[in-house]
Amino acid sequence: MGWVRRNLEMIVLILSGVLLAAGGIAWWVSAADTARWLWIADTLLGLVFALAATLQAARQHRPTVDIIAVLALAGALAVDEPLAGAIITLMLATGQVLEAMADARARRELSLLTARAPRTATRVTADGLVEIAVADVVIGDRLLVRPGEVVPVDGRLAQDSTFDESALTGEPVPVERPAGEDVRSGVVNVAGPAEILTTTTAETSTYAALVRLVEAAQATSAPFVRTADRWAIAFVPLTLVLAGVAWAVSADPVRAVAVLVVATPCPLLLAAPIAIVSGLSRAARLGVVVKGGGALEQLARGKVVIVDKTGTLTRGRPELADVITAPGYDADVALRLAASVDQLSAHVLAGPIVEAARARGLDLAMPADVIETHGQGVEGVVDGRRIRVGRYTWIAGPSPERWIRRVRRRADLDGSASSLVEVDDVVVAALLLRDPIRPDAPRMVRALRAAGVTRVVLATGDRADVGTAVGRIVGVDQVLADCTPEDKLTALGREAAHGATIMVGDGINDAPALAAADVGVALAARGATASSEAADVVLTVDRIDALADAMAVAKRSRRIALQAVGVGMGLSLLAMIAAAWGLLAPTVGAALQEVIDLLAIAIALRAVLPGRLHSVALSEEDRATLASLHEEHESVAPLVERLATVADALDAHEPDLADAVALVDALENDLLPHERADEERLVPLVARARGTDEAVAALSRTHAEIEHQVGRLRRLLDGIDGDPEPDDIVELRRMLYGLYGVLRLHNAQEDEDAFSLMPARG
């Protein structure tokens, strides 16, 4: 029976088609009575089906056009027009099947959340460790949380430890918590064994509250009201009045039935769902899975976008930003040694360090005697030298050197994570890592505004200065920092006053807001999460700007659906007037209605054709050119950070220009040829892709400025005769910092305007 209920619409459609065709064959072979009874059976099938749909709508207190189908089918039987009734049944069943396809929504489950929740806890007792059910934890229990385990209930730490809190905050970098500080359930212990004193039970803990938030938000989500139901408010009374007038004036019930037959609103039941299904198909080709017609229409209506930061506007994973070395030490050597040891570390920062070393073409060695201190760092022997890579406090100690303090200050200002590299008990380098902004994020925000979004809000669990910096770069209207899942729900409620809301996120902590928003959009290119289960729209490509394309598809599909409905219902209205005047018999009216349906469907099918999108298509040759230039772009990136490192090391009292001379040589031999290649090959490519030379004016201007500044540096160094004066060092430092700023901005422009055109990697 369950299978029958799930496939009822398709069963009715098949039976209706078989009965109508069988009746046609019987009529063709002169078995008129058999044909009549087959069509009567078909009409009765449609009547039962339509009546059930009408009663269900009545129970839900919503208007429906199905009442017209009920009256038309009953009228066809009453005036002995079974063929007209059979045709109506086929139209009705077809519309129901297409509507079911259009409104089919992926089941929202909490499987990931519930599977991740711990079932047991380890209680510390006088007699040792005891495994208990999480439900049996009481306030005041001492619990042991082993490395890699999820904290089962909220508690207070007995010793320092480090936790991955991304499930609650969305932030990827582990957080160090000192003894005595509260720790929330749902976070993962990434250090050594940690002991906590419980302050809540499992039922009242943070993670349980997060699960309840998702459940409550899903339960209160308003159902999608299809276009047909809204039009029915005016269409149903109009049809009944016209049919009643036709019957009263002519005293012929057949005219009333004819009016009802041509009024059967198949343009609503067929054309609109087809346009929506076509839009769903078109969005899927762009890497956007929209879970049903309701979500597509709501996406088209979106006016306010609330977007998470980490993993959404940023990559969601730290990347090596800079290698700062002690005076006289080579950056590549330091990075190679650190990455060699990190090959055997599971720490969240180890992977990006290894990837950066390999991207620079460094030959990594396999370390020996590797020991990892959870939450602190890793050490091992590489090429006979003892290497340690890890936290600032673990390696530098209480009295670090001046250059290390400067690195720490810079990391704090930039919101970067840092790892120090120690070789044979000497700190030789600092590795700065940050979560970079997606190059397509600013274009996505601009494209959303062009698509009709009036307000964009950034809601992040990160601190205010980091969130504000990201928000300013991508161009949002407001930044909400230090947000919990509850704060995001509150923001959604507040922003709903400005229009339909769209929530964009990628973490478990975003699931409640994704479920509560009018449209939840999840990024799932890096794997399925609870966010994708709670969302209405899932981006399967690792490009946030695909959301703007999906919104354009949604608006176009909705517009075409309304056009199809308008044309179809307009022609139906004319046919109703003709039927009221007695110009159409019920069977002829049913056939005419089929013609109107076909026209409406043809209009609706336009939605499957490509429309105008903000993204651009590149030829294979252009893609290859972009990939080649991007590889060069990445290879010269260390030169940019080297500018700041060399400038930092310049000392007016003990001037040494050797590093500065070597740097300018590298700029002339490596950087400038790349910038010239960009001007010759990249600029014309971007201009073609964007359709205007204005799109690349800024790139060309900065190419010229970079060459000008490198030339000035060379002239300054050539002009220093003998020992440099302090003023020479000051000027040199100023020019290096200036060029550093220009190149940082220029590289960001190239990432956004040019290299964001590349297909998503990974």
pLDDT of residue 388: 93
Work out the percent of the chain whose per-residue pLDDT is above 90. 4
Using the structure block, give the residue that is written with the tokens 């059979």.
Answer: 86
Q: Convert the pLDDT of each residue in 110-165 to its tens digit.
A: 445 556 678 888 998 888 888 888 888 888 888 999 888 888 888 878 778 888 87
Local confidence band at 757 (pLDDT 50, 70, 90 cut-offs): confident
Q: Where are the domains of the chain?
A: 2-106+224-277+556-608, 117-219, 289-315+437-555, 319-434, 620-757
Answer whether residue 526 shows pLDDT above 70. Answer: no
pLDDT of residue 222: 36
Answer whether residue 44 shows pLDDT above 50. Answer: yes
pLDDT of residue 102: 47
pLDDT of residue 533: 60
CA–CA distance, 535 with 263 (Å, rounded to integer): 38
Local confidence band at 652 (pLDDT 50, 70, 90 cut-offs): low
12-26, 330-344, 688-702, range with greatest mean pLDDT: 330-344
pLDDT of residue 215: 56
Q: Convert the pLDDT of each residue in 556-607 to its tens digit.
A: 888 888 888 788 878 888 888 888 888 887 778 777 877 787 788 788 878 7
Mean local confidence (pLDDT), 226-242: 66
Architecture of the domain spanning 319-434: 3-Layer(aba) Sandwich (3.40)
Identify the sign of the CA torsion 619, 624, 629, 634: positive
Strand partners, 457: 306, 478
Cα 717 to the chain's mean position, in Å?
A: 50
How many other C-beta atoms can be found within 10 angstroms of the C-beta atom of residue 93? 26
| Active site amino acids | 308
- Arithmetic mean of pLDDT over the chain: 79
Q: Where are the alpha helices (DSSP H) in 304-383?
A: 331-342, 350-359
Q: Which CATH number fits domain 117-219: 2.40.100.20, 2.70.150.10, 3.40.50.150, 1.10.580.10?
A: 2.70.150.10
Q: Do domains 117-219 and 319-434 have the same CATH topology?
A: no
Eight-class DSSP state of 330: -
- Strand ranges in 273-361 using DSSP code E only, listed in sequence order: 288-290, 302-307, 319-325
Token output for 229: 């139901």
Using the structure block, give the residue that is written with the tokens 């950070």.
Answer: 641
The number of residues making up the chain comes to: 762
Q: In CATH, what class is 289-315+437-555?
A: alpha beta
